[in-house]
Amino acid sequence: MTTQTDLGVSDSLREPGFIEVRCPADGRVVGSVPDMTSGRVHEIAQQLRAAQPAWEDLGPQGRAKHVLRLLDWVLDNEKRLLGLMQEETGKSWGDAQVETAVVVDAVNYFTKHAVEFLADRTVERSGAMALTKNLRVFHRPHQLVGVITPWNGPLATPTIDGIPALMAGAAVLFKPSEVTPLTWAEVTRGWLEEVKGPPVLACVTGGGATGAAVVDEVDMIQFTGSTATGRKIAARAGERLIPCGLELGGKDAMIVLDDADIDRATSGAVWGGLWNSGQICVSVERIYVQDKVYDEFVNKLTDKVTALRQGMDRDGSFETDIGAMATENQVRIVERHVADALQAGARAVTGGKRGNGGTFFQPTVLTGVDHSMACMREETFGPTLPVMRVRDEDEAIRLANDSPYGLAASVFSGNKERADRVARRLETGAVNINSVLTATMLLTLPMGGWKSSGVGGRNGGAAGLLKFCRQQAVVTERFNLRSEPHWYPYLPRMSRLQARLVRITGAHDWRRRLGRKGKNRKG
């Protein structure tokens, strides 16, 4: 059992209240963390602010040395970290292991490119006033960035935003979910005590109130979680006039056209819909299959889902595929969606019930579903694959877009032009053609939800790091003039000459250049 009493926080800041963490697979208490008050969050934020200037002064190469040491530490402690994560999430070992790859990618990508991304940018002169100037843009970090995360990826999710924020030169105040705080608290301890990194990274623990306190302290907030919480954070960020990035919920559609490779499409649906027990923002949550291939798709999908092994396996054993759900509340949402569908005439061709003990829910395929059902409208965030028969491409696109969410989607087709055509009509921030989930994991592509799935976005090459910076416009003089022609005092001859120059250089016809009225433009 892990008791985190010191998350990089001094003795005087320790909390009287603790949050108990249980393993969802079997209900065991596996650790506890302090339930921190806003006062504690404020003190920790002050410590981070004090440490940030020296961190910024290190420059990207200096910061990269520390961040690469963190990667070494994560790899050296991988088994222990993933074991801890497994205990607090109930994931299968295979699902847990994917999170290491996210750390490896994020650290290697942003440490490799930070010098280039943060380099001062020289920009083109524009307008008469710029003729005597040199123009540059400096990238200066927000001093304190808050990163608030949900429970589904305790190692990966803080990493994908935290690493670029650190590499930008910000100090980072993390607030992991109260359901799964142990993994990130341990990473923070590792950074401070074993990596001996500067105190520019802290992890505060607690529930929504602690998260709200983080929003009140930081200069920029990056939030991943539900749309409902995202709205509250956006409202508070608006009041405080701080920027926020919101990565929120989704109801991702998969479209399977009649020329698709059904073996690949069904395997994609199984992993894309059920990885992490379906608890991924970009999970395949609903599938539209064209009439001609519908029966083949459902038969193959059902066989593959039925063959999945469910359970929380031993460290490193890869004996199961799909683990538990993270919370009892999450199981209840899945139960409600399945019950609502079955009552309205749908059929569970495999699964459809809770597993034995813990918070397991059987991997489930639902047929006979339609958009009157909760399983096709609301985010399920569970191991269900509702499949709907559609007439044609147009019907599939119309139904896929019939959602308040717009995170990602998948299109399966043997014809590249056809798949592109469908992708261009989908109202989502990402489209995977003949694949699932992938766009989210690629750091050079932007990841940002449309509609109620988010604001801002992450990744996308340099943008993924520069979002944690403020742009500073810097103007320097090319010549040592004693004054500028447009400065006081206004001299009649000089001012008239300037007015003429503006017309001569700015107008598009000779009449206007000479100070007369010109003809109207045609067309």
8 A C-beta contact, residue 31 and residue 21? yes
User: Which is closer to ligand NAD, CB of 229 or CB of 432?
Assistant: 229
Q: Considering the complex, what minimum distance in angstroms separates the CB of residue 451 from ligand NAD? A: 12
Q: What's at 183, amino acid-wise?
A: T
Q: Which is nearer to ligand NAD, 229 or 266 (CB)?
A: 229
Q: Shortest Cβ distance from residue 234 to ligand NAD (Å)? A: 10
Burial label for 18, CB within 10 Å (0-12, 13-18, 19+), is middle
247 is catalytic: yes
For tokens 């420059």, the residue is 59
Cβ-based burial of 290 (10 A; exposed 0-12, middle 13-18, buried ≥19) = buried
CB of 132 to ligand NAD, least distance (A): 47
Q: Which is nearer to ligand NAD, 248 or 341 (by Cβ)?
A: 248
Reported for 295-300, long-range contacts at CB under 8 A and 24+ positions apart, including other chains, are: 296/262, 297/256, 297/262, 297/265, 297/266, 297/387, 298/349, 298/365, 298/367, 298/387, 300/262, 300/263, 300/266
Return phi, psi of residue 63, to 5°.
-70, -35
Task: State the minimum distance, in angstroms, from the CB of residue 323 to ligand NAD.
Answer: 16
Cβ proximity to ligand NAD, 157 vs 290, nearer residue:
157
Q: Which is nearer to ligand NAD, 247 or 321 (CB)?
A: 247
Please pick, among 15, 99, 186, 247, the residue that the annotation labels catalytic.
247
**42 vs 302: CA distance, rounded Å:** 52
Closer by beta carbon to ligand NAD, 160 or else 348: 160
- Phi, psi (deg, nearest 5) at residue 418: -65, -45
Between 233 and 348, CB nearer to ligand NAD:
233
Per the DSSP assignment, residues forming a β-bridge with 141 are 469
Contact 296, 262 (CB under 8 A): yes
Nearer to ligand NAD, 248 or 253 (CB): 248
227 touches 42 (CB < 8 A): no
Q: How near is the Cβ of 86 to ligand NAD at its closest, in Å?
A: 18
> Are 445 and 492 within 8 A, CB to CB?
no
141 phi/psi in degrees, rounded to 5? -70, 155
Q: How far is the CB of 212 from ligand NAD (least distance, A)?
A: 4
CA separation for the pair 353, 342 (Å, rounded): 12
Nearest in space to 382 (alpha carbons), one of 423, 432, 334, 430: 334
Please report how close the Cβ of residue 236 comes to ligand NAD at its closest, in angstroms.
Answer: 7
> HEC profile for 197-250?
CCCCEEECCCCHHHHHHHHHHCCEEEEECCHHHHHHHHHHHHHHCCCEEEECCC
CB of 403 to ligand NAD, least distance (A): 13
Q: Would you tell me which residues interact with ligand NAD (CB under 6 A)?
A: 148-152, 175, 177-178, 207-208, 211-212, 215, 224-226, 229, 232-233, 247-250, 281, 379, 381, 407, 449, 454
The H or E element spanning position 166 is helix 156-168
Residue 248 and residue 453: Cα distance in Å, rounded? 5
Q: Bridge-partner residues for 174, per DSSP?
A: 147, 203
Closest-approach residue to ligand NAD (CB): 211
Enumerate the active-site residues: 247
